Amino acid sequence: PKTRFIDYVVPGVIGLILQLITVTLMASTLAREREAGTLFQLMVTALRRREIVLGKVLPYLAISIVLILVIILLSAWHFQVQFNDWGALALICFLFLLCSLGLGLLISAISRTQTQAIQFSVFFLLPVFVLSGAFAPLEQLPQAIRYISELFPLTHFCRAFRLVNLYRAGFEFYAADLLTLFAGVVITFVGAVYLLRRIEQ
């Protein structure tokens, strides 16, 4: 009952900003190179597919980590939001970032132009804003919609972040959300590498 609205909303704000930036920017990377013709030049170099993927991901990962720190510092300074268990929060944010970057990379790999990549990104992000529970409890949604919400990484990020920061829950309470985010990382990155191999062929 004593929880402030801003304390509840901060995870949603962090997640929405990060996913908006990571998915949109990442989705434009390979699509832009494919459109310019430089992607095929990368393919014939000595670089492996996973090295190309890693080179595309690392800069956006670094930028996103800086953004997280800025948002957290601003929330703590201006809104007096308290953050607990920094280690657990860092792990949750890191897995969510990788999952979001993987989604953007996957969208980029299936898009032929930047326009298509941005359209796919917007098509994915619009329902995420409404159905992820970023600003309102998922319990307010119909039961059938909640099952769809579980498909979004932001849903698991917000739930795990709040369990740690607001309720100081133990690892066993948010372990399932971490496993889901990790599975999303593996699926998206493996899918992106596989699609890059098909492009090469």
Question: Mean pLDDT over all residues of the chain?
Answer: 84
Q: What is the dihedral of CA 85, 86, 90, 91, to 10 degrees?
A: -30
H helices of the chain, where?
A: 5-36, 38-43, 49-78, 86-110, 114-131, 143-149, 153-165, 171-200
How far apart CA 192 and CA 23 sit, in angstroms, is: 13
The string of pLDDT tens digits covering residues 139-174 is 888 888 888 888 899 999 999 999 998 888 889 999
Burial 6-38 (b: 16+ CB within 10 A, else e): ebbbbbbebbbebbbbbbbbbbbbbbbbbbeee
In the predicted model, is pLDDT for residue 138 greater than 90?
A: no
Looking at residue 137, its pLDDT comes to 82
Looking at residue 197, its pLDDT comes to 67
How far apart CA 34 and CA 110 sit, in angstroms, is: 11
The string of pLDDT tens digits covering residues 14-50 is 888 888 888 888 888 777 777 777 766 766 676 776 7
Token pair for 196: 């890059």
With cut-offs at 50, 70 and 90, classify the pLDDT of residue 3. low
Count of other CB atoms within 10 angstroms of residue 5:
8
Contact 166, 7 (CB under 8 A): yes
Looking at residue 175, its pLDDT comes to 94
The string of pLDDT tens digits covering residues 120-131 is 888 888 888 888
The string of pLDDT tens digits covering residues 87-135 is 999 999 999 999 988 888 888 888 878 888 888 888 888 888 888 888 8
With cut-offs at 50, 70 and 90, classify the pLDDT of residue 68. confident
Q: Comparing 20-24, 63-67, 192-196, which segment has the lowest mean pLDDT?
A: 192-196
The string of pLDDT tens digits covering residues 171-189 is 999 999 999 999 999 998 8
